[in-house]
Amino acid sequence: MKTMTCQDLGGPCGFEHRGDTADDIIKAQDQHLKDVVSGGDDSHVPAREDMKGRWRHPIKSMGWYNDVKKRFAELPEN
């Protein structure tokens, strides 16, 4: 299991996501952004909009995705 923060993924806070794969972390970030924005946290709106754009245009967003996968792979297990 590895850990990445919201900020590591382009968000504004240090909320920690844990997962066995980069995809687990990305899905956790997507849910985190949905939850905090729906709860009224405007500081996460830009990151939420970016994430929605990535889901809509995955081929265009492959650079971000591959970067996250690479950084995830370099992390130590915790």
Q: Which two tokens stand for residue 27?
A: 């899905």
User: For the residues 39-60, what does the mean pLDDT come to?
Assistant: 93
Q: CA 71, CA 68: separation in Å to the nearest integer?
A: 5
User: For the residues 63-70, what does the mean pLDDT come to?
Assistant: 95
| Length of the chain in terms of residues written | 78
Instruction: Return the domain boundaries, the chain.
Output: 2-74
Average pLDDT, the chain: 95
Whether 29 shows a pLDDT value over 90: the answer reads yes
Q: Which two tokens stand for residue 14?
A: 């240090």
Compute CA distances 73 → 7, 24, 67, whole Å: 17, 13, 10
Q: Which one-letter amino acid corresponds to residue 41? A: D
The model carries a pTM of 0.91
* Helix (H) or strand (E) run with residue 34 in it: helix 22-38
